[in-house]
Amino acid sequence: MKAYRILAVAERVLRQVWHDKRVLAFMLVLPAVAMLLFGYSFSGDITDIRVAFIDEDNTDLTASILESLQADDAFDVTVHAPVDDPERLLLDSGYQAVIRIPDKFTSLYYAHFAMGVATSAQGTIDLTLDESDPQIASTIKMGLADALMDLGEGGPVRIDTRQLYGVEVRFIDSFAPAIMGLVVALISTVLTLLSIVREKVDGTFSRVWVSPVRRAEFILGYVVAFGLVALVQSLVVLTIGKGVFDIVINGSVAWAFACVILFAVGSVGLGTLLSALAQTESQAVVFFPLVILPSVLLSGMMWPIQAIPRVLRPLSYLVPLTYSNRLLRAVMVKGLEPWQEPVGFAGVLVFVVLTILLASIVLRQSAGERE
């Protein structure tokens, strides 16, 4: 493998992009428009938010709180034994909230009821909350308030909320990482697909295959070119996000770029893969909605995956952007390192390895079963 041949392919692809001013404009305008257009919230009925319920009081009253939480479709409640550090439990076990009812909750609750407003005695519930998805966070708060309302009699209950990952995460803050992923995936997949199909149509493909260029070098050339493009697009999204919407970025921008580029690599692989299924450019266009629609609808980009009907939810986990969203949100909103979001990180890695491997097999066949 020779670096100069990889760079030759990369330079050629970038020159082609540079020459086509429409594509160039599309590349820069798409992230800007996407970021500007989707500035507001979308919501469906959110269900199956993972909540841990720790009951240290164990009374009929606390049991009825648990019951109403369990009755709420929004939650998937797991009853958990008491722990020292609810925050750790949330981080390690992937819960989006930990509700802890302390010892003596019931007696304090009734004490307030008996003594009236004159007393400071009051039942308190600890709520540890993952705030990185604002729609989910507000659903949890509302659901818990509803459950307490169901108690009917009794005094007000104080909810001590501990919010993790940014105190006030707005929709737009968690939307920016999704836009970055979407734009990068679209451009890298679609342009790689079109470019390779065009090589087949024009015959430059066979010219490249009789040359010293190896399959891996060819793919890596595209990866380098679209990695750079992904970087520029991410900058556009972040600039507009910061400048227009004043988004909060809690994590490292460098990690975010690294993850976006990683995702771009997988998208180049996907584009290469799809190119094997199209002989002409108009056939290639057929694949665009196939890439775009599931990404927008099922990835948890516009609404949380918990808001998607249960029957469709498994499909979400087949959409690469689902993992990219988890990963980029973890890095940008929660300020985590990539591997601290194992599902998202592993998902993106699997996507990259799988598509690049399959792409190189597929390229061998497209090249005319050369070896």
**107 Cβ contact list (under 8 Å, min separation 6):** none
End-to-end CA distance of the chain: 17
**286 Cβ contact list (under 8 Å, min separation 6):** 278
- Which is closer to other proteins, CB of 121 or CB of 367? 367
- Which is closer to other proteins, CB of 67 or CB of 202? 202
Distance of closest approach, residue 232 Cβ to other proteins, in angstroms: 19
- Distance separating alpha carbons of residues 156 and 148, to the nearest angstrom: 9
Out of 67, 202, 281, 337, which residue is the one contacting other proteins (CB under 8 A)?
202
- Distance separating alpha carbons of residues 326 and 334, to the nearest angstrom: 10
- Distance separating alpha carbons of residues 272 and 196, to the nearest angstrom: 7
Q: Which of 266, 271, 267, 315 is nearest to 294 (CA)?
A: 315
- Distance separating alpha carbons of residues 340 and 321, to the nearest angstrom: 18
Distance of closest approach, residue 236 Cβ to other proteins, in angstroms: 23
The pattern of x and - marking residues 100 through 139 that bind other proteins according to CB under 8 A reads ----------------------------------------
Q: Does 207 bind other proteins (CB under 8 A)?
A: yes
Q: Does 222 bind other proteins (CB under 8 A)?
A: no
Pairing state of beta strands 75-80 and 49-55?
parallel
Q: How far is CA 219 from CA 5, 10, 111, 206, 257, in A?
A: 11, 9, 71, 15, 20
Q: Does 363 bind other proteins (CB under 8 A)?
A: no
- The most distant pair of C-alpha atoms in the chain lies apart, rounded to whole Å, by 90
Q: Does 371 bind other proteins (CB under 8 A)?
A: yes
Distance of closest approach, residue 3 Cβ to other proteins, in angstroms: 11
254 SS3 class:
helix
Binding span for other proteins by CB under 8 A among 24-32, 55-63, 106-114, 195-203: 195-203
The pattern of x and - marking residues 7 through 46 that bind other proteins according to CB under 8 A reads xxx-xx--xx--xx--------------------------
Residue type, 267: S
Tokens at residue 195, please? 């470019």
Residue type, 209: W
- Which is closer to other proteins, CB of 209 or CB of 257? 209
Q: Does 368 bind other proteins (CB under 8 A)?
A: yes
- Distance separating alpha carbons of residues 248 and 246, to the nearest angstrom: 7
Distance of closest approach, residue 352 Cβ to other proteins, in angstroms: 25
Out of 60, 84, 153, 369, which residue is the one contacting other proteins (CB under 8 A)?
369
Distance of closest approach, residue 7 Cβ to other proteins, in angstroms: 8
- Which is closer to other proteins, CB of 340 or CB of 365? 365
Tokens at residue 151, please? 């108690």
Binding span for other proteins by CB under 8 A among 110-118, 179-187, 207-215, 263-271: 207-215
Q: Which residues are near other proteins by CB under 8 A?
A: 2, 4-5, 7-9, 11-12, 15-16, 19-20, 198, 201-204, 206-213, 367-371
